[in-house]
Amino acid sequence: MAVAFTFPGQGSQAVGMGKDLADAFPESRKIFEEVDDALGENLSKLIWEGPEETLTLTANAQPALMAVSLAAIRALESRGFSLKDKVAYVAGHSLGEYSALAAAGFVSVADAARLLRIRGNAMQATVPAGEGAMAAIIGLEQADVEAACAEAAKGSAKDSVCQIANDNGGGQLVISGARAAVELAAKLCTEKGAKRALMLQVSAPFHSALMAPAAEVMRNALAEVTKNAPLVPVVSNVSVTPSSDPDAIARRLVEQVTGRVRWRETVEWFGANGIATLYEVGAGKVLSGLARRINRDIATGAVGTAADVEAALVALA
């Protein structure tokens, strides 16, 4: 099998996403109802009507993006598609790993929604607003970015955290940590020749050591849910290796909270292991764009709308 499914992370959300799936497929609408029931609120209304600033909040965006991805999967399955038969691996960018795992049956949709709400709240609460930051570094070698982070990471333990959070490929790295350290590292990256060093409008320093308390929250939360072997192996963000072992997957989800999202390496791994096509399942086409910059030999497709579902069913028949 030469197909892998990937699932988008935070930043891909948009008001109205998934609405045409829910309108076209009863099975997709049921996913949104399941998520609403699991969270005890009408998240679907927020997804489809906004306001955007409320949807963008971490605690809302994470389960919302998962809901759209699973709605797309259910639409495919309603027409006879089998993930186990047609897809070799799944992977997701940050929160998208939970979407991938729910699609593969590792956890139920309801548990995935609750876990992502817990994850979003924990990540937001761990660092007071304004104390953490993230920055995108464009066009600088990883070694130079790591050197800038190391140089900026001086001072007290709390103020010295600065590390690469995302290796997105295509010359894009994201750094995360204490605000002062990240701002200094961004300045140093510019001096080292980065094309751009852009401070990001995010609510917390995700995927940094400052998220350690949130990692413990997730360790406890994951211990409370039923976990199954996924239908297809998931390629982990932090290890870039496939696994079907529930305990190993749970450990990697905990490590992911503070660890680097190794997306460039993930796409490279797919290319080295026979994957010819990557489908991005859910909202937006961010991962498809990254994949094309990382490995032009891998074809990309999207499954985020009813029309996409019909096209994918033909291509994957």
Q: Is there a catalytic annotation at residue 99? A: no
* pLDDT value, residue 297: 96
Catalytic residue among 44, 203, 207, 288: 207
* pLDDT value, residue 130: 87
Which range has the worst mean pLDDT, 127-136, 148-157, 221-230, 283-292?
148-157
pTM above 0.85, yes or no: yes
pLDDT band at 129 (very low <50, low <70, confident <90, very high): confident
Catalytic residue among 94, 99, 208, 288: 94
* pLDDT value, residue 236: 98
Task: Tell me the per-residue pLDDT of 17-35, one tens digit each, with 9 for 90 and over.
Answer: 999 999 999 999 999 999 9
What would the mean pLDDT of 60-75 be, rounded to a whole number? 97
pLDDT band at 294 (very low <50, low <70, confident <90, very high): very high
pLDDT band at 270 (very low <50, low <70, confident <90, very high): very high
Task: Tell me the per-residue pLDDT of 192-220, one tens digit each, with 9 for 90 and over.
Answer: 999 999 999 888 899 999 999 999 999 99
What average pLDDT does the structure give for the chain? 96
Determine the straight-line distance between the first and last CA of the chain, rounded to whole angstroms: 12
* pLDDT value, residue 26: 98
Q: Is 45 exposed, middle or buried (0-12, 13-18, 19+ CB in 10 A)?
A: exposed
Phi, psi of 283 (to 5 degrees): -80, 140
* pLDDT value, residue 1: 61
pLDDT of 190 above 60: yes
* pLDDT value, residue 158: 58
pLDDT of 58 above 60: yes
**85, 119, 71: which is closest to 253 by C-alpha?**
119
* pLDDT value, residue 155: 58
Task: Tell me the per-residue pLDDT of 297-317, one tens digit each, with 9 for 90 and over.
Answer: 999 999 999 999 999 999 999
Task: Tell me the per-residue pLDDT of 108-121, one tens digit each, with 9 for 90 and over.
Answer: 999 999 999 999 99
pLDDT of 159 above 80: no
pLDDT band at 157 (very low <50, low <70, confident <90, very high): low
Task: Tell me the per-residue pLDDT of 209-258, one tens digit each, with 9 for 90 and over.
Answer: 999 999 999 999 999 999 999 999 999 999 999 999 999 999 999 999 99
Question: Quick count: other Cβ atoms within 10 Å of Cβ 114?
Answer: 20
Question: Quick count: other Cβ atoms within 10 Å of Cβ 314?
Answer: 7
Is the Cβ–Cβ distance between 233 and 252 less than 8 Å? no
* pLDDT value, residue 203: 81
Q: Is there a catalytic annotation at residue 207? A: yes
How many CA atoms lie within 13 Å of 254's alpha carbon, on the beta-carbon side? 16
Task: Tell me the per-residue pLDDT of 34-57, one tens digit each, with 9 for 90 and over.
Answer: 999 999 999 999 999 999 999 999
What would the mean pLDDT of 136-159 be, rounded to a whole number? 87
Phi, psi of 196 (to 5 degrees): -150, 150
